[in-house]
Structure 1
Amino acid sequence: MTAQLACMTADVPVGTAMRVELDGADGAPVEVAVVRDADGDFHAISDICSHGQVSLSDGEVDGCTIECWLHGSTFDLRTGKPLALPATKPVPVYPVTLDGDRVLVDVDVTIA
């Protein structure tokens, strides 16, 4: 599969995240958090926290990180690595392409 339309740039204001479901190569849905960091750059990571199995898109975006709202684990949006406990496992990061106002994400490739 190739990059899929996740949302429009206007759907995700700076410093926020949005949950989307995209189709994986096997046809199963993949839950993705599309995040716009403090600099306005877009990132796509798994929407499921590796510690608490809750939606990361409901968390707070700070700089280039997102904090899980339930237990406070913080993840680097570029690498998916946890920066604060209790999470110890990274979350997948997916490539993002901007095509005009369209935000495209390829969930069949992980970059971190």
Structure 2
Amino acid sequence: MEVDDNPVAIVRSEGQVYALRDVCSHAEVNLSEGEVEDGTIECWLHGSCFDLRTGKPINPPATQAVPTYVVKIDGDDVLVALNTKNS
């Protein structure tokens, strides 16, 4: 999805909802097309996994984190603050 012209992946894992930039830091492909498991998302192209909480890569070839964003659930709405990053 796009939020203010920014590609954002909204992901549910282990009962939590996360938001992160929907672009792999290694290959610039959509992370939202990858597998989600155990608090990570895997890039479908080269297999790098990213921690959904921090955006940090778990394994190569990616070496740079992807931005993550604060998520708030308001009823059926998922609100994402692009200017507020998770730490």
TM > 0.5 fold call? yes
Partner letter of residue 68 of structure 1?
C
Q: 2:39 aligns with which of 51, 60, 64?
A: 64
Q: Which has the higher contact order (CA 8 A, sep 6+)?
A: 1
Over the residues paired in the alignment, what is the CA RMSD in angstroms? 0.7
Give TM-score scaled by structure 2 length.
0.97
Q: How much has 1:31 moved relative to structure 2?
A: 0.4
In structure 2, the partner of 1:49 is 24
Bigger Cα Rg: 1
Give TM-score scaled by structure 1 length.
0.76
Q: How much has 1:104 moved relative to structure 2?
A: 0.5
Q: 1:88 aligns with which of 63, 72, 78?
A: 63
Ranges in structure 1 where 5+ consecutive residues have no aligned partner: 1-19, 24-28
Number of corresponding residues: 87
Q: Quick one: percent identity of the two aligned structures?
A: 55
2:7 aligned with 1:31, yes or no? Answer: yes
Q: How much has 1:40 moved relative to structure 2?
A: 2.0
Ranges in structure 2 where 5+ consecutive residues have no aligned partner: none
